[in-house]
Structure 1
C-alpha cells in the first residue's frame, strides 16, 4: 500500500466514524428518533438489530483485532521483549488509572461500580484518524507507539469482557467452543492453508460462544489465534484475511456500530456522576496513566522513549488514547441494563473522547517535530516500501495490510 493511500484510508475511516456518531446524535434528537429506536429493536430471528450489530458484526471487529495482535506478536512490532516493554507498561497504566479514577468518582454508589472498565480502552480508528489529520506533525514513530498501545488496550478490553461481563455459563456450550478452537488449531498445525475452513469454524464458534454465556465477540479473538501465519511470509492466510477484512470493518461495521450505539436523547439523558466518572477516566486517567508510565519507564531505565519523539508529542499521543469511543460504548452497553445508565455512560464517553481528541490534536499541532532519524525513516520504509519516502509521517495503522 502506498504511503499516501494508507494515510488517506486512516483519515477517511476516522472521519466516517465521527460522522456516524454525529448522525446518531442528530437522529436521536430529531423527529426521526422513534423510527431510529424501532429499527434498532427490530427482531431478526433470535436477536434484534442492535444485538446483531453489537454481538454479531462486532465479532468481525474483534477477529480483525485478534489477527492484528497475532501478527504483531509473532512477526511485527511486539515480536521481541524489548519492543513489547514500553507499550505494555503504558497500556497497563493507561487502563488501571482510568478505572481507578472512575471508581474514585462513583465512590460507594454500587449501582455504578460495574462500569469501571468503560474508560479503560482506546478507539484505534478515531485516534489514528486524528493523527492522520495532522499530516507531517504525526511522524511514523508516533503512530507506531500510539497504535501499539491501542492494540494492547484492545487485548485488555477483550480479557475484561470475558472475565467481568459474562452472564451465567453453559458448560456444554463452553466444551463445544473449546473443541472447535482445538479443531481449528489442529487445521493450522496440519497445514491447512485455505481460509474457508477457518471461516466456517469461526461461524460455528461464534454460535457456541454465544450459547455459552461469554460475550460472543470473544469468538473473534479465539478464531484469529488459529489462523495460519508464516513468520516473514508476505501472503500468509492471516495477512490475506486481515487485508480483506480491513475495509469491511473500518468503513462498514465500525461506523454502523457507532451509528447504532451513539444515539442519546439529550433532553432525557442525565450526565450525572456516571457521566463525570467516565469522562474524567478517559480524559484525565488516560493521559496520566500513559504519559506517566512512559516517563517513569524512561527515567528508571526500564524502557526508553522513542528517540524520534519529543515529550510534547508523547503527551499529545497520551491524550489521544483518551478517545475511547467504540470500545467504551461497547463496554457501557454490557455494564448496565438500565437504559438511563447506558445513556449516561454514552454521554460521558462522548464528552471525554471529544475533549481528549481535541486537546490531543491541539498539542500535537503546536508541537515542533524533531528531525526524523534514519532509523525511524527506515522503519516507515520497511512497513510501506519505498513510497514511505514520499511522506515519512505515515506508518502502518493497526489494521493496514
Structure 2
C-alpha cells in the first residue's frame, strides 16, 4: 500500500498509523500461518486451502480473485500519485524512481549469481518491497524517523508496485487464449468508453470489471492484472460531494473504500494462505539451496545496495533532492527496510515456480529469512541513527 492523498500533517499521521497497523496485523497472520504449517494441524490447514468452493480452490480464490482487489487498489494509488500526488512531477519522481530502479535491478542480479537454468525464473522474487511491513517496523520507532523518509518510502513503493505489475505481465504470463484476450480488450474498451462518456457512478465500472476479470483469468494472463486495468479507467476528475461540498472523485471514493478491507482482510488472508512454510519437513539443505540463497541475498544485500547506492549517487550528481532532515544512516536504515519483500515477493514466487512445491518452499524460506533479517537490521540502524550528518548537503523537502 502507498501514500494516500494528504491535506495536512494530521492526515499524514492518520495514514501512516493505518498502514503501520495493517503491517503489524500482517506480521501476526504470517506467524499464525507458520505455526499452523509446523503443527499437528498442518494437514487440516493444507486440505482446507485446497478444498474447492465452486470452480476454484480456496487458495485460488484468495490468490486469483481477492488479490485482484489488492491490485485494483495498487492501480488506483499508482494512477492518483502519478496525476496528482507524490509522483505528479518529474523532480518528485526522480529520487524514488532511481531508488526503486536500483532496488529492483541489484536484487535480480544477485539472484542470478546463485541461480541458472530453471531456477533463474525466480529472478524477480526479491525485487519487491512490502510497504505495510516496512511501515509497521517504522511505527515501532516513533518520531526517530523523519516524516520525509516515510514519504520517500511510500513513493518508492508506488514505483516498485508499478515495476512488479509490469514484470508479472511481461515475464510471468502463461500460454495466451486469444479469444479470451480479445474479450478482455473489449471489456477495457468498454471501461474507457464509460470514462470518456463521463459516467461517474462506480457500479457500472465494477460490474464490467468482474467481466474483465473473467476474461483475463481465462486468457492465461494472471487474473490479478485485471485489477490494475480496471483501476486505470476509473475517473479521477473532481465533482462536488452532495453531503459536505468537499472535492471527491470516483477514484478517491473507491480507494478510500478499499483501504481497510485490503489492509486488514485480503492481504492478511493472502499471508495466512501462502506464508505457511513447513520448516520441520524441509530437508536440512533447504536453507542453502540456490533459490533460498538468491532470494535472501537479494533482499538483505541487493535492496539496500540498490536503493541507498543509487539514491546517494542521484543526490551527489544533483539529479534529485534528498529527503529533508534525514541523515545518511537513517537513509541506510530505510533502504534496509526495503528488503522486507513479503506480499508481492510471495506472489511472484507462486508465478515463477507454478506447481513446484519444493522450489516454492525454498523461495518462501528465502523471503521469510531475508525479510526478517532486513527488518531487524533496518530497525537497529534507525534506532541508533542520528540526524546530525545530512544525507545530502543540499537536502530539500521530499
Q: Same fold (TM over 0.5)?
A: yes
Deviation per residue, 1:246-289 (Å, 9 max, x gap): 00000000011001000011022222221111000011000000
Q: For 2:388 and 2:65, how far apart are their aligned partners in 1? A: 44
Is 2:281 aligned against 1:268?
A: yes
Cα shift at 1:292:
0.5
Q: For 2:248 and 2:375, how far apart are their aligned partners in 1? A: 35
Q: For 1:258 and 1:10, how far apart are their aligned partners in 2? A: 16
CA contact (8 A) 1:308 1:371 kept: no
Cα shift at 1:232:
9.8
Residue number in structure 2 paired with 1:194: 201
Unpaired runs of 5+ in structure 1?
A: 373-378, 381-401
Residue number in structure 2 paired with 1:251: 264
Residue number in structure 1 paired with 2:35: 26
Cα shift at 1:157:
0.6
Q: For 2:326 and 2:197, how far apart are their aligned partners in 1? A: 44
CA gap 1:4/1:87 in 2 versus in 1, 3 angstroms: closer
Is 2:364 aligned against 1:346?
A: yes
Residue number in structure 1 paired with 2:136: 129
Q: For 2:156 and 2:72, how far apart are their aligned partners in 1? A: 18
Cα shift at 1:11:
2.4
Residue number in structure 2 paired with 1:287: 304
Moved more, 45-54 or 285-294: 45-54
Moved more, 21-30 or 361-370: 361-370
Residue number in structure 1 paired with 2:219: 212
Cα shift at 1:7:
4.0
Q: For 2:338 and 2:169, how far apart are their aligned partners in 1? A: 22
Deviation per residue, 1:139-173 (Å, 9 max, x gap): 22111101111111111111111111111101111
CA contact (8 A) 2:38 2:278 kept: yes
Residue number in structure 2 paired with 1:329: 346
Cα shift at 1:186:
1.3
Residue number in structure 1 paired with 2:253: 240
Q: For 1:205 and 1:134, how far apart are their aligned partners in 2? A: 43
CA contact (8 A) 1:12 1:129 kept: yes
Corresponding residue pairs, total: 373
Residue in structure 2 matching 1:179, options 165, 173, 186:
186
Q: For 2:381 and 2:389, how far apart are their aligned partners in 1? A: 18
SS in 1 for 2:174: coil
Residues 78-157 of structure 1: matches in 2 within 5 Å? 78-106=87-115, 108=116, 110-157=117-164
Residues 17-96 of structure 1: matches in 2 within 5 Å? 17-96=26-105
Q: CA RMSD in A?
A: 1.9
Residues 376-387 of structure 1: matches in 2 within 5 Å? none
CA contact (8 A) 1:137 1:369 kept: no
Cα shift at 1:36:
0.3
SS in 1 for 2:303: helix
Q: For 1:215 and 1:194, how far apart are their aligned partners in 2? A: 27
TM-score under structure 1 length normalisation: 0.90
CA contact (8 A) 1:323 1:353 kept: yes
Q: For 2:11 and 2:152, how far apart are their aligned partners in 1? A: 21
| Displacement over 6 Å in runs of 4+ | none
Cα shift at 1:4:
5.1
Q: Structure with the greater relative contact order (CA < 8 A, sep ≥ 6): 1 or 2?
A: 1
Q: For 1:278 and 1:4, how far apart are their aligned partners in 2? A: 33
TM-score under structure 2 length normalisation: 0.90
Is 2:210 aligned against 1:203?
A: yes
Cα shift at 1:81:
1.1
CA contact (8 A) 1:10 1:132 kept: no
CA gap 1:324/1:232 in 2 versus in 1, 3 angstroms: farther
Cα shift at 1:308:
2.3
Residue number in structure 2 paired with 1:158: 165
Q: For 1:103 and 1:228, how far apart are their aligned partners in 2? A: 41
Q: For 1:201 and 1:127, how far apart are their aligned partners in 2? A: 34
Residue number in structure 1 paired with 2:394: none
CA gap 1:5/1:73 in 2 versus in 1, 3 angstroms: closer
